[in-house]
């Protein structure tokens, strides 16, 4: 199944990095975030990617055109440096389409721009380029097929350190609690669409605004709650948290490594500050 990744935004909230590097290319360890996301999909067998380029699309193209697996994998050098044998491979069986979808376009218009490259696809996936999760993609897709709706997205609880406030009579505080312990759920991306999604998008529209409202009105949109790990990289603080997790070897999104670890009876566990509880009564949408 093809996977559309939106990686053309400016990333203004991560300006410390994104003035020169597009946000999906900010590194976690040896590799950029977009690689971690693509490796996640590849783990579940989905290796045909469409990258919706915009801001610094040249940077993303150059990275993959000059990709050197030796820099982030174990290898043997022999024959006076003329022969390289890799013990591991990252992306030898990936297929990546690099499509310019405009510098100023929103997500909805970027999706419309790659419609010709999805010809013949009855169902496809899409995602923002700045969020990672431990979502069991097979279970998620099974739920989508059984529901037989046009679109689905991942519902997650925010990982930020905000506090949610409930007011009585617009003044008296009824309750205040960390957002991670509230019943608030937001749109975490990880979309699954039938090809009919294009019937709901008009020129100029943002994906989760007018098109999603039309889907809701026809009961063609479902949400899938994931109480496990999810985090995005919107700010420098979140970049630092990802770096800390990588340094400690706590990478719950790296399901490909977890599978190897489980075979050796070594389980990866997400850090406690990103563990989210079950239960919900409302869902928010991320633009």
**What are the tokens at 196?**
């009919």
pLDDT tens digits for 68-97? Answer: 777 777 889 888 878 888 887 777 789 999
**What are the tokens at 261?**
């670890």
Q: Domains in the chain, please, with CATH?
A: 2-283 (3.90.550.10)
Q: How is 246-261 classified by DSSP, letter by letter?
A: HHHT--TT-HHHHHHH
Q: How many residues appear in the chain? A: 287
Q: What pLDDT is stored for residue 14 in this prediction?
A: 52
Q: What pLDDT is stored for residue 177 in this prediction?
A: 72
Q: What pLDDT is stored for residue 269 in this prediction?
A: 41
Please give the C-alpha separations between residue 1 and each of 81, 242, 263, 284, in angstroms, as whole numbers.
39, 28, 27, 27
- The Cα–Cα gap between 261 and 58 comes to 36
Q: What pLDDT is stored for residue 287 in this prediction?
A: 45
SS3 for 215-232, per residue? HHHCCCEEEEECCCCEEE
Residue 113 contacts by C-beta under 8 Å, 6 or more apart in sequence? 52, 99, 101, 102, 105
Which ranges of the chain have pLDDT less than 70?
Answer: 9-19, 159-162, 170, 174, 179-180, 182, 259-287
Please give the C-alpha separations between residue 198 and each of 6, 110, 113, 214, in angstroms, as whole numbers.
16, 12, 11, 12
**What are the tokens at 110?**
């970027």
- The Cα–Cα gap between 58 and 193 comes to 28
Task: Summarize the chain as % helix, strand, coil (round to 5).
Answer: 35, 25, 40
Q: What pLDDT is stored for residue 265 in this prediction?
A: 41
Q: Which of 76, 95, 109, 106 has the alpha carbon at shortest distance from 10?
A: 106
Residue 91 CB neighbour total at 10 angstroms: 16
Q: What pLDDT is stored for residue 247 in this prediction?
A: 87
> Average pLDDT of the chain?
81
């Amino acid at each position: 199944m093809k996977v559309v990744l939106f990686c053309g935004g400016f990333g203004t909230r991560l300006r410390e990095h994104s003035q020169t590097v597009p946000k999906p290319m900010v590194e976690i360890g040896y590799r950029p975030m977009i690689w971690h996301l693509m490796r996640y999909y590849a783990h579940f067998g989905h290796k045909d990617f469409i990258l919706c380029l915009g801001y610094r699309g040249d940077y993303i193209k150059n990275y993959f055109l000059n990709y050197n697996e030796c820099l982030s994998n174990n290898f043997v050098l022999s024959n006076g440096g003329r022969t390289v044998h890799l013990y591991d491979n990252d992306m030898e069986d990936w297929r990546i389409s690099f499509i310019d979808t405009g510098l100023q376009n929103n997500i909805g218009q970027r999706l419309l721009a790659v419609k010709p490259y999805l010809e013949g696809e009855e169902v496809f996936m899409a995602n923002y380029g700045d969020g990672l999760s431990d979502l069991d993609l097979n279970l998620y897709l099974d739920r989508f097929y059984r529901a037989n709706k046009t679109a689905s997205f991942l519902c997650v609880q925010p990982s930020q350190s905000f506090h949610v406030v409930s007011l009585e009579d617009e003044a008296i505080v009824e309750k205040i609690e960390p957002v991670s312990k509230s019943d608030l759920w937001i749109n975490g991306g990880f979309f699954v669409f039938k090809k009919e999604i294009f019937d709901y998008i008009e020129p100029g529209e943002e994906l989760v605004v007018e098109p999603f409202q039309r889907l809701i009105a026809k009961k063609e949109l479902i949400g899938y709650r994931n109480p496990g790990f999810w985090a995005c990289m919107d700010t420098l603080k979140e970049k630092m948290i990802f770096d800390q997790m990588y340094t400690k070897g706590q990478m719950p999104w790296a399901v490909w490594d977890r599978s190897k670890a489980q075979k050796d009876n070594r389980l990866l566990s997400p850090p406690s500050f990103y563990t989210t509880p079950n239960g919900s009564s409302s869902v928010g949408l991320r633009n």
